[in-house]
Amino acid sequence: MPKMKTRKALVKKVKITKGRKVIRRTTGQNHFNAKCTGKQTRHKRKDQRLFKTDEKNVLKSLSK
């Protein structure tokens, strides 16, 4: 039986930490940022963790 291929679109969007947490990029960083306050801009730099139910789906789809 051939090896299963990794789902590349999903791999490019998330990062899996050592403790099996799934990290994603914060939304709204690409453009229209001139009107944002400094506080909003700093918060956008941080990555966010997915919800636990979504994490289970992501880990399951990557392990297939």
Binned at pLDDT 50, 70 and 90, residue 30 comes out as very high
Q: Is the pTM of this model over 0.85?
A: no
Which residue has better confidence, 38 or 7? Answer: 38
CA 3 vs. chain centroid, Å, equals 25
The predicted pLDDT at position 10 comes to 85
The predicted pLDDT at position 33 comes to 92
Range 46-50, long-range pairs (CB < 8 A, 24+ positions): 47/15, 47/23, 48/23, 48/24, 49/21, 49/22, 49/23, 49/24, 50/14, 50/22, 50/23, 50/24
Domain boundaries, the chain: 7-17+38-64
The per-residue pLDDT of the chain, averaged, comes to: 89
Which residue has better confidence, 26 or 7? Answer: 26
